[in-house]
């Protein structure tokens, strides 16, 4: 019996609160036994405009580069300090 685990971003949403935008990422964690899915769970996390994107997947970085404009980053800095 071979168990495997894979994880991937299965949902990426842009959240606009009126002052700045954040990215909500849902990661799916799938457990398979002999290639058949036996369990799926999820983890969620948010990325804010000035967060470090170094360890993010290319799809998340691409979205962030479009969403997190200089104006959005400045609004975030001003309103959260």
Write out pLDDT tens, residues 38-74.
999 999 999 999 999 999 999 999 999 999 999 999 9
Instruction: Break the chain into its structural domains and give their ranges.
Output: 3-80
Secondary structure, 3-state, 51-81: CCCCCCCHHHHHHHHHHCCHHHHHHHHHHHC
Beta-carbon count within 10 A of 49 CB = 21
pTM of the model: 0.84
Euclidean distance between CA atoms 78 and 25, whole angstroms? 24
**Per-residue pLDDT tens for 18-34?**
989 999 999 999 999 99
Give the closest residue to 28 by CA, choosing from 5, 51, 49, 52. 5
């Amino acid at each position: 019996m071979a168990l495997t685990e894979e994880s991937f971003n299965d949902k990426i949403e842009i959240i606009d609160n009126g002052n700045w935008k954040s990215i909500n990422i849902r990661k799916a964690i799938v457990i398979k036994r002999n290639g058949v899915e036996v369990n799926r769970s999820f983890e969620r996390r948010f990325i804010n405009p000035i967060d470090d994107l170094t360890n993010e997947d290319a799809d998340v970085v691409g979205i962030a580069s479009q969403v997190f404009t200089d104006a959005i980053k400045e609004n975030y800095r001003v309103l959260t300090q």
